[in-house]
Amino acid sequence: MSKPLGVLARFSNPAELIDAAKKVRDAGYQKFDCHSPFPIHGMDDAMGMKRSPLGFIVGAMTLTGAAVGMGLQYWTSTIEYPLVISGKPFFSWQAFIIVTFALFVLFGAFGAVFGMFHLNRLPRLHHPLFYSKQFESVTDDAFFVSIEAEDEKFDATQTQAFLSSIGGSNVEVITGE
């Protein structure tokens, strides 16, 4: 027999989905997700999600990029290859702002892209929910709550009963390899 990978329950509208998310959060489940065909305002609060650390990652990467840009130009113009050009000092920071800004933006963009990939655990080419036939309707008109088997509170029969008790229909245990 295949081991359970999670439980999936369908809800009829966005209001029921938000209510279900609050009840799942209050029941102590940590590894769950809500799925809908469009963004629902207030869902993050209902799920108890914290603010993303992506802003701090991007901020740190932009400052790193600026430091690398300014440091590289300082090192080349004052230490490695000092040239007096038109009587200017070796470290003329005004001329270095363009490259510093370019690396500031470049490192920030890399921080945003790779930070988002890391925080979203991407690339994930296959998710256990793809084993469910009813989950295909999530992109059209369905609203689902899924609880992963990796959750500490997860027990297939109890979780299935819990989702049914909070109004979930078509509750399904997802099994796979």
Specify the domain boundaries for CATH 3.30.70 within the chain.
Answer: 3-51+126-176
Handedness of CA 11, 12, 15, 16 (dihedral sign): negative
Task: Tell which residue, 5, 12, 43, 13, has the closest CA to residue 25.
Answer: 43
The model's pTM: 0.78
**What H or E segment, with its residue span, contains residue 35?**
strand 32-35
Residue with the two structure tokens 């209050």 = 26
pLDDT digits (tens, 9 = 90+) for 124-175: 888 888 888 999 999 899 999 999 999 999 999 999 999 999 999 999 999 8
The answer to which of 7-21, 97-111, 127-141, 150-164 has the lowest mean pLDDT is: 127-141
Return the CATH fold of 3-51+126-176.
Answer: Alpha-Beta Plaits (3.30.70)
> Confidence band (pLDDT; 50, 70, 90) for 35?
very high
pLDDT of residue 19: 97
Looking at residues 70-91, what average pLDDT do you find? 91
pLDDT for position 1: 57
Write the DSSP symbol of residue 10.
E
